[in-house]
Structure 1
Amino acid sequence: MVMDLLFGPQKPNILGSAVPVLKILCMCGMGSALAHPVINVINPEACKLLSKLVFALFLPSLIFTELGKSVTLGEMKDWWFIPVNVLLSAVIGCGIGYIVALVCRPPPQFFKFTIVMTGIGNTGNLPLAIIGSICHGWNTFGARCNQNGVAYISFAQWVAVIIVYTFVYHMLEPPMEFYELVSEIQPAEEDDPVMEMPQLLEAEWPGVKDAQTEETRTPLLSQMFADSSVGDERQEEEEGVGSPMTVRCLAEPQVVRKMRLVAEKTPLRHILQPPTVASLLAIVVGIFPDLSSILFNQGAPLAFFTDSLTLLSAAMVPCIMLVLGGVLSGGPGRSELGLRTTIGICVTRLLLLPLVGIGVVILADRLGFIPQDNKMFMFVLLLQYTMPSAILSGAMTSLRGFGEREASAVLFWQHIFAVISIAVYIAIYFKILPYI
């Protein structure tokens, strides 16, 4: 009787659609309670340990097992629009983020920061948690709800990671005019506990602070495109006309040289993180049926190994939600971004972009880009527009050494209000999916 009142006989109403988010909120609430100073079970060290386990073990296990079972060469041909949709959502989001930056007028040093935090959404942990919550128990997506949902989300992981480690990395570089100031104050306040990186950023990429170097903190693009002609003249004078470097510069067009330098300074080595490696391995296994039969078929020789990974993967959602609740309990912290810009980013990311996503998915369906009658496929596409900003984008601010507090504050407020916005939009998606 209670289930009928919540969900109705066929499909969920608004309250029923909020249940998956309420489950997530409950787990986050437990994490916040355990992180309270009185209880102090999930202290900062415990958060770091759980984050490392999720990042290096639980999440890769989930991605490999669910994507490896589902993906084949034929499926990859049908799923091509999933990574394209991630790229499309980033382009549209950053375009709208540029308008937000013009309207809200953040401090000049945070103009590109505003674009990135508006345009780049979370395509990993939070969507996986929502899918797991929806598919646990009653759902409208069938018996393979969780397997298909996780597979679709995991199939887009590599694209999202490449976007973050290339485009976002360079967009979030320290502004040239603030570089000297940042360079001077960093060593002096390095041991100050107030200056420590917000835990929320390290929750997505444990150890990101250790990856920071002088090179990652250097504003490469600003140096290259400001007074480039003067720099080239000085370089020629210092090196001499007959030096090998001068010969290469004379033979290489200036634009090509700049593109090469940018590519050389892009930290592509960081792209191969455990979740990305798990996605790529699962795709390789799916391409070769013989490998899949060894790992995933009933009675497969290595079924004990994949079963072990399946058991480990079950810990991903609760652990990441406990960590998220624990780090959010610390509050937003200080920020120089400004109230107007913070509100602009949150409203655009959580309320406006999902409406744009509905239009994009409906258009893609009309053009035949989406497999027929695959509601989970469309639901995952819609989720890619509904999520708050990517925590990994915030972690890039730590790698670049600029804007960490602002990223932590924006992510904090987005995740607080996303509880309401995601619940509302899930209800809308459940209502419109039968008619698309």
Structure 2
Amino acid sequence: MAHQFARLLFESGMKSQREDVLSAIVPLLKLLSLTMIGLVLSRFEMIPRATFKLLSKLVFALFLPCLIFTHLGESITLENFIQWWFIPVNVVVSTLIGCFLGYLVVLVCRPPPEFNRFTIIMTGFGNTGNLPLAIVSSVCHSSDNLFGPDCHRKGVAYVSFAQWVAVILVYTLVYHMMEPPMEYYEIVQEGTEIQEQETDDVSAPLLVEAEWPGIEDKETEHSKTPFIARVFASISSLSSLPDIDPRDGAITRGDTPMSVTCFAAPNKVARKIRVVAEQTPIQHILQPPTIASLLAILIGIVPHLKDLIFGDDVPLSFVTDSLQIVAGATIPAVMLILGGMLAEGPNESMLGLRTTIGIIVARLLVLPLVGIGVISLADKLNILVAGDQMYMFVLFLQYTTPSAILLGAIASLRGYGVREASSLLFWQHILALASLSLYLVIYFKLMSFI
């Protein structure tokens, strides 16, 4: 009798393990199938590259904002807005830990010196938007998912609630960290010119357009120069770099060396900070997805507005129904675009094999382990929303995704590490299938215990 009972327990445990593995891998296989369709369509030129670029613009300006607005606006309330505070904070924490791991990669792997900052950035800043949305949507697609009937709505709301923090970080910190290093400016500039000649019609357009359509129109006079280094260092040997007018702090150009008296002024630091701030593309933060997030939060936390727009029998329910229909195209479009990008293949990279492997290991394998510790500690401190497994799952995902595709666009805008970003993003997204499968199984197991 005892033997039969033990056998039943063993079989039950084996069945449970198989179900956990399948529940983690099947959603990723669905996303892989969509990505493969995009890859085949692009590889065999069944769809022109211009179509993928147009699809990127539709996702950026229409599909994604509709998805964010309908799900975040319906889910959020003033109470939730306060309860969810750890979601955006976790983005900052995961980024800081990732940057520290990137610094360790620099120390251990010793990349070419001009790519030290690049290594830190590519390790630290993960995809907190489109890929987590795709994973959540795929996990919630089946009716017997682990997170209940509100799986999709809550998952999209949690991911969307974190996006504005990531956008602010990208258009401030990342933008300036990705400027060409001063001491290697000529080398990096040469590499950028070669990149533009070789990949004008091959890989750069789709990589650049994937998450920031129209980026070529955002380039400024100083986008591809070591601007901060030039402003804060009393170096004027490169006449092509900006100088500071000692009268009003304006940026000027010329062959005359920068006046020493300009830096001797009492307010020299404030003047330099102001010049740098003026060149920070903070205006790009207010893009359609971010505007949709802010609008959804505003309407969601005001009960009278929410009662007009969100619900089954509200006056403007037809509007949200229409937006939900449009939003349904987001995930398929995102994965098709990713497939088109991967079809271009990896570019040549001067980063080095050892550094490339170091970044991939740190980003896809080590950072998720650290994330498990951080989320477990937060749970012990009662910081998380009690009993909400989807909340915890989204926090885990913020440590697990590959580097943000948007970093490739920023690299192109700044003229720094364009080839290296393209190559690294390609290999990370290829290998992320294995790492995501592994960690999704681990996360599903952990959430049943924590």
Classify 1:300/1:125 alpha carbon distance in 2 versus 1 (closer, same or farther; 3 Å): same
The separation in 2 between residues aligned to 1:64 and 1:189, in whole angstroms, is 38
For 2:20, which of 13, 17, 20 is the aligned residue? 13
SS of match in other structure, 2:149: coil
Structure 1 spans left out of the alignment, 5+ residues: none
Please report how far the alpha carbon of residue 257 of structure 1 lies from its aligned counterpart in structure 2 after TM superposition: 3.0
1:261 and 2:275 are equivalent in the alignment: yes
Match of 2:444 among 426, 430, 436: 430
2:36 pairs with 1:29: yes
Are 2:208 and 2:408, in contact at CA under 8 Å, matched by a contact in 1? yes
Q: 1:431 to 1:256 in 2, by over 3 A?
A: same
Report the residue type matching 1:15 in the other structure: L
The one-letter code matched in structure 1 to 2:302 is: F
C-alpha change, 1:72 and 1:332, in structure 2 (3 Å) is same
Give the residue type in structure 1 aligned to 2:154.
N
CA distance in 1, matches of 2:17, 2:420: 44
Distance (whole Å) between structure 2 residues aligned to residue 183 and residue 302 of structure 1: 53
Instruction: Give 3-state SS (helix, strand or coil) of 1:174's partner.
Output: coil
Partner of residue 70, structure 1: 75
Matched with 1:391 is 405
Matching residue's letter, 1:220: F
Counterpart residue number, 1:147? 153
Q: 1:87 aligns to what?
A: 92
Given candidates 185, 188, 191, the residue that maps to 1:179 is 185
Aligned partner of residue 19 in structure 2, secondary structure:
coil
- AA in 2 matched with 1:310: Q
CA apart distance, 1:217: 1.3
> Does the 8 A contact of 2:192 with 2:418 survive in 1?
no
Partner residue, 2:215: 208
* Cα 1:343/1:111, change in 2 over 3 Å: same
Question: Hey, what does 2:137 align to over in structure 1?
Answer: 132
Equivalent residues of 1:189, 1:195 under 8 A apart: no
Cα distance 1:317–1:391, how it changes in 2: closer, same or farther (>3 A)? same
Please point out which of 141, 156, 162 is paired with 1:156.
162
In structure 2, do the counterparts of structure 1 residues 414 and 230 end up closer, same or farther at CA, with 3 Å as the change threshold?
A: closer
In structure 2, how many angstroms separate the alpha carbons of the residues matched to 1:42 and 1:67? 33
Match of 1:341 among 355, 362, 368: 355
TM superposition shift of 1:201 = 3.2
Give the corresponding residue for 2:381. 367
Which of 215, 218, 222 matches 2:225? 218
1:204 and 1:392 in contact (8 A); partners too: yes
Match of 1:55 among 18, 40, 60: 60
Gaps of 5+ in 2: 1-10, 250-258
Answer yes or no: is the 8 Å Cα contact 2:195–2:418 preserved in 1.
no
Match of 2:117 among 109, 112, 115: 112
The 8 Å contact of residues 42 and 326 in structure 1, kept in 2 or not, is answered as: no
Deviation at 1:194, TM superposition (A): 5.2
String of CA shifts for 1:330-380, please: whole Å, max 9, x gaps: 111111111111100001100000000000000011111101111110100
Q: Tell me if the contact between 2:188 and 2:417 (Cα under 8 Å) persists in the aligned partners.
A: no
Q: CA-to-partner distance for each residue in 1:306-340, whole Å, 9 max, x for gaps?
A: 11110011100011101111110111111111111
- Distance in 2 between residues matched to 1:52 and 1:386, nearest whole Å: 26
Would you say 1:100 and 2:105 are equivalent positions?
Answer: yes
* Distance in 1 separating the partners of 2:199 and 2:13: 47
Residues 108-136 of structure 1 show CA distances to partners (whole Å, capped at 9, x for unaligned) of: 11100000000111000000000000000
What amino acid is the match of 1:23?
K
AA aligned opposite 1:419: L
CA contact (8 A) 2:189 2:415 kept: no
- How far the C-alpha of 1:7 sits from its partner, in A, is 10
Q: Is the 8 A contact 1:198 1:404 kept in 2?
A: no
**Structure 1, 323-332 or 78-87: larger mean CA deviation:** 323-332
Distance 2:351 2:201 in 1: 17
Give the CA deviation at 1:396: 0.6
CA-CA distance at 1:406 after TM superposition: 0.6
Deviates more, 1:290-299 or 1:86-95: 290-299
Structure-1 separation of matches of 2:61 and 2:223: 23
In the alignment, is the contact (CA less than 8 A) between 1:7 and 1:16 conserved in 2? no
Q: Could you tell me how far apart the structure 2 residues matched to 1:67 and 1:163 are?
A: 21
Are residues 189 and 173 of structure 1, via their aligned partners in 2, closer, same or farther at CA, if it must alter by over 3 Å? closer
Deviates more, 1:324-333 or 1:74-83: 324-333
How far off is 1:224 after superposition?
2.4
Tell me whether 1:283 sits opposite 2:297 in the alignment.
yes
* Distance of aligned partners of 1:215 and 1:432 in 2 relative to their CA distance in 1, 3 Å threshold: same
**Aligned letter for 2:157?**
A
Q: Considering only aligned residues, what root-mean-square deviation do their CA atoms show, in Å?
A: 2.7
Mapped contact 2:53–2:209 kept (Cα < 8 A): yes
Question: Match for 1:24: what amino acid?
Answer: L
Cα deviation for residue 12 of structure 1 reads: 3.0
Amino acid at match of 1:46: T
**CA–CA distance in structure 1, aligned partners of residues 272 and 448 of structure 2:** 50
* 8 Å contact from structure 2 (residues 262, 268) kept in 1: no
TM-score normalised to the size of structure 1? 0.91
> Are the structure 2 counterparts of residues 75 and 364 from structure 1 closer, same or farther at C-alpha, using a change threshold of 3 Å?
same
What is the aligned partner in structure 2 of residue 270 from structure 1? 284
